[in-house]
Structure 1
């Protein structure tokens, strides 16, 4: 937190500097262009990996930090071998991107 109470990436100094550099092209909370509630930045990590990891890592809650690291590493190794699942995630992301384009950046229910 900065002295103005905002997290560092939203502090007055940072937002003023971004405005100096990028003018009205800054997309952020409390700026001329507000960051949308469902960001159009769509990646397989956002729509697949984090949920998949959580579902698989927490089937049995980890006991320690080392335990969670081990479980995450194991699940990533499993996923590396499952090319079909990764391919489906990427194809789903492409479908979402097409929907976003068709709606000209409007809300997409998925």
Structure 2
């Protein structure tokens, strides 16, 4: 498994989780939020305001994860405030993973290490110029979701 986060002005490092490791609330908090996201956001945003939003994976929805995020991320959107199972509202799902897959997997890989190297290389090549329109599209998707009262909506 691989984890990554984006904003309009940048992206976190990719986090690779070893095969066979179950991403529970403790692994997610320790290996992703504490080890990668928190230091990256402190360096990237400094004192600027920002919002942290995540999908509805069980480790993300866990009470201890929600409490940790509320304590450490100033603009955290809780799972109670977010529609469950809404991949159309997760920029990583509706855009970034497909970009990364198309670039990193254009040629077959003979090993897991080769795939990881390709993913890291292509992740590093994604620019803020590519991320900005994805972030702007996110705002449009939020408006459509609100207009549909959380129901199905179509994007153009």
Q: What's the TM-score once normalised by structure 1's chain length?
A: 0.59
Deviation >6 Å, runs of 4+: none
State which of 127, 139, 144 in structure 2 corresponds to 1:94. Answer: 139
Q: Which has the higher helix share?
A: 1
Q: Which has the larger radius of gyration?
A: 1
- The aligned counterpart of 2:121 is 74
Answer yes or no: is the 8 Å Cα contact 1:47–1:93 preserved in 2.
no
2:144 matches 1:103: no
Q: How many residues align?
A: 75
Would the aligned equivalents of 1:100 and 1:106 in 2 still touch at CA under 8 Å? Answer: yes
TM-score (norm 2): 0.43
Give matches, 1:10-89, under 5 Å: 39=86, 42-79=89-126, 82-89=127-134
In terms of fraction of residues, the more strand-rich structure is 2
Which structure would you say has the larger RCO, counting Cα contacts within 8 Å and 6 or more residues apart? 2
- Segments of 5+ residues of structure 1 without an aligned counterpart are 1-8, 10-17, 19-26, 28-34
Q: Report the alpha carbon displacement of residue 40 of structure 1 after superposing the two structures with TM.
A: 6.2
